[in-house]
């Protein structure tokens, strides 16, 4: 396993649409292991492959609290089959938009289909933090950042602040 560099706005790769994965094999599992290690190190709760410069439709997440055992989840070629009309606001942040947090409205519940770490197809319902996080990460696969859901002014301010942080580092 290896730590990978997390791309930050305005890196052009973050606007790229990721490509479907043909099969889950050892090479892809090694990528997911690297992604998970990178996410934990950041620290974060979700990471899409494009955030480390790999344009594949792959996501890792772990929603366990700090005092709980790790519960890594792997999503290959995830798709939303259904989403509720009901929305829920949630304050989001992103490893690719460091130190920026803002409220985003998303469907409160979704039904997902994806391949897991073993390549098995899974269908399940998600709500609460799980629904928010998977939708946030799936946006990355389509070149969308959470700040794209904000007003143009807020988005421009966020990018400006991140650029300033990067220069100061």
Q: Is the pLDDT of residue 146 over 80?
A: yes
- Determine the 3-state secondary structure of 127 from DSSP: strand
The catalytic position among 68, 92, 124, 137 is 137
Residue 79 falls in the annotated catalytic set: no
Q: Read off the pLDDT of each residue in 70-90 and give the average, rounded to a whole number.
A: 97
The full set of domain ranges for the chain reads: 12-168
* 100 in Cβ contact with 147 (< 8 Å): yes
Q: How far apart are CA 80 and CA 161, in angstroms?
A: 32
CATH 3.90.45.10 fits 12-168, yes or no: yes
Q: How far apart are CA 140 and CA 17, in angstroms?
A: 8
Name the pLDDT band for 140 (thresholds 50, 70, 90).
very high
- Determine the 3-state secondary structure of 32 from DSSP: helix
Question: What pLDDT is recorded for position 1?
Answer: 75
Question: What pLDDT is recorded for position 169?
Answer: 78
* 108 in Cβ contact with 83 (< 8 Å): no
């Amino acid at each position: 396993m290896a730590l990978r560099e997390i791309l930050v706005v305005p890196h052009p790769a973050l606007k790229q649409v990721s490509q479907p994965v043909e099969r889950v094999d050892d090479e892809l599992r090694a990528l997911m292991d690297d992604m998970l290690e990178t996410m934990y190190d950041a620290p974060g709760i979700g990471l899409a492959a494009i955030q480390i410069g790999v344009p594949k439709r792959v996501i890792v997440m772990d929603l366990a609290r700090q005092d709980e055992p790790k519960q890594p989840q792997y999503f290959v070629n995830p798709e939303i089959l259904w989403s509720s009309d009901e929305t829920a606001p949630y304050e989001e942040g992103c490893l690719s938009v460091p130190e920026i947090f803002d409220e985003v409205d998303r469907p409160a519940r979704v039904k997902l289909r994806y391949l897991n770490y073993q390549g098995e197809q899974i269908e399940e319902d998600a709500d609460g933090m799980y629904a928010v996080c998977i939708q946030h990460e799936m946006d990355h696969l389509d070149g969308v950042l959470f700040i794209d859901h904000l007003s143009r002014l807020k988005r421009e301010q966020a990018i400006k602040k991140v650029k300033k942080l990067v220069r100061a580092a």
